[in-house]
A and B are shown apart, each in its own frame.
Chain A
Amino acid sequence: MAEDTAHFAGEEGGQASGHVSPAVAYEAAKLGIWTFLATEVLLFGGLFTAYIVFRLKFPEMFHKDFVHLNRLLGAANTVVLITSSLTVALAIASIRKGKQQLLKLFLSLTILLAGVFLVIKYFEWTEKFAHGLFPGTDIFFSLYFMMTGLHGLHVLGGMLVLGAMLFLAGRGRFSESYHTPVEISGLYWHFVDLVWIYLFPLLYLIG
């Protein structure tokens, strides 16, 4: 009568949650990543709140300062990130069909695009510094550097996570039936993209 619904079987692939069934582990992972993304919304939310507060207080400053931002590079970065969301989605689609090579290809492309994003960001920032615009210059630039900086750190983190996925994919850890880490990494990556979709217009576009 005491039904044993749990067993220790570490599956092919080896889950850390070896004490639950694969179906439960998958559900748990999905709930886990969504909960984590909720915390990220609140982390960035603090900065967005500061943005709103200061925009209402100093509309002139925002009008005056935002023209210094490089809209071209910002737009390029937007395209880069959106494309990287596409490639990570394709990576997941591939492994859902068991296609290992395509998985690795699309993961690599995503990481590459993330790198491009950071390089473009590097050029943007150094251009600002060259013009004497620093985080301490005024509140608008404080917001600009903090928001894009925190976002950039998340891009970097995403690169590391996706890099780990690529490494594990190379070891043959994923399959048609088990690719949960890839899926949740993909969800995180989409979030990082989404934050940028809000940042870009707020900082670069609306005067």
Chain B
Amino acid sequence: MTNAFAAAGAASPSAWKIDAVFLFITGVSLFFFLLVEGLLIYFAIRYRRRKASEDAATSDVKSNTVLEIVWVLVPSLAVLAFFTYGYMVYRDVTAPQPGAADINVTAGQFLYEFKYPDGRTAMNELRVPAGRPVKLIMTSRDVIHGFFIPDYRIKQDILPGQYTYLHLQPDREGTYDIFCTQYCGVGHSTMRAKLIVMSADAYAAWMARGEGVKAAMSLPEKGKALLEKFGCLGCHSTDGTVKVGPSFKGLYGREVHLEKGRETIADEEYIRESIFDPGAKVARGFPNIMPTFKGSIADDDVAAIVAYIKTLK
């Protein structure tokens, strides 16, 4: 699919889909621009007051209902088209991709920390293999930051105390800019990172070489150690046994039945909330006695716990 914007082919499917929307809106807008501005300029010239007709009375026409209806309906149809196309592509590029690798992003004044599934962390450098979708799970240590990949045409704000997500489909190899787009303090305009898309082979080689700060354990391993350390396994099993609390086996992504007839999906946000504010969503049939770990478990550790729970299918 060709697009008029990307100079040498789009970096990602999201880029060419969004560029197509740009093209559409530009085309329709250009048409109306030329028509309306054209009429404005044409009328200004054509009906300028000339010496000869200085004293002539002008037309008394004051309204035309048909015209009013037409120029309400036509723009309405145009904007409806803009909305619809914009919505469809938006839904597409923000949808989770199957088989996506999870990468945790922690933003803080003024850098991005990327945490890979094997536990290593890298500052300001996100390496991914081409062809495999990636889900970025992002949170902030302090204030709101932005995460913008111009070449992919996508961005998402990063919030403290919550997770936000970005779904990437890295396609073309290369190095791409990542910019912070939400003012965060004096270092805002130097808060930048790089997205490095490598071929599958190069990526495998890089993984084997162990560059970047490699943690002693992988993320899920660290998560398991934390569950033991904080005594979670006293009330929660990992093999399906129902103890004082629900089992973690198969928990991630499942629909959870809560008290008072409510339902929710057990995603990252749910697990994090259960750790910090257990009384907010109590699973049906279980007592509301889980203590809060606010202040004892750090945000980074929550990510490890989530990663471990995900492995318990």
Contact = CB atoms under 8 A, between A and B. Distances in A.
**Any A–B CB pair closer than 8 Å:** yes
A60 interface: yes
Contacts of B280: 57-58, 60
Q: Chain B interface mostly helix, strand, loop or mixed? A: loop
A60 B279 CA distance: 7
B159 to A, nearest CB: 15
Contacts of A57: 280
B220 to A, nearest CB: 31
Contacts of A60: 279-280
B272 to A, nearest CB: 15
A57 B280 CA distance: 8
A58 B279 CA distance: 9
Q: Chain A interface mostly helix, strand, loop or mixed? A: helix
Nearest to B260: A59
A116 to B, nearest CB: 39
Nearest to A57: B280
Interface in A176-205: none
A57 B276 CA distance: 14
Nearest to B282: A60
Contacts of B279: 60
A57 B162 CA distance: 14
A181 B1 CA distance: 72
Interface string A42-63: 0000000000000001101000
A202 B280 CA distance: 21
Nearest to A61: B279
Nearest to A64: B279
Interface string A109-148: 0000000000000000000000000000000000000000
B264 to A, nearest CB: 14
A54 to B, nearest CB: 12
A60 B280 CA distance: 8
Contacts of A58: 280
Nearest to A63: B279
A60 B292 CA distance: 14
B15 to A, nearest CB: 37
Interface string B256-281: 00000000000000000000000110
A105 B190 CA distance: 69
B171 to A, nearest CB: 40
Interface in A18-59: 57-58
B170 to A, nearest CB: 37
B300 to A, nearest CB: 25
Nearest to A60: B279
A58 B292 CA distance: 14
A150 B280 CA distance: 30
A56 to B, nearest CB: 11
A58 B277 CA distance: 9
B279 to A, nearest CB: 5
Nearest to B288: A60
B281 to A, nearest CB: 11
A158 to B, nearest CB: 39
Interface in A73-130: none
B77 to A, nearest CB: 35
Interface in A146-169: none
A57 B281 CA distance: 10
Nearest to A58: B280
A60 B259 CA distance: 13
A58 B278 CA distance: 11
A207 B280 CA distance: 16
Interface string B277-300: 001100000000000000000000
B86 to A, nearest CB: 29
A45 B280 CA distance: 26
Nearest to B277: A58
A116 B7 CA distance: 75
B273 to A, nearest CB: 10
A27 to B, nearest CB: 33
A33 B279 CA distance: 46
4 contacts: A57-B280, A58-B280, A60-B279, A60-B280
Of all A-B residue pairs in the complex, the 4 with the closest CB atoms, nearest first, are A60-B279, A58-B280, A60-B280, A57-B280
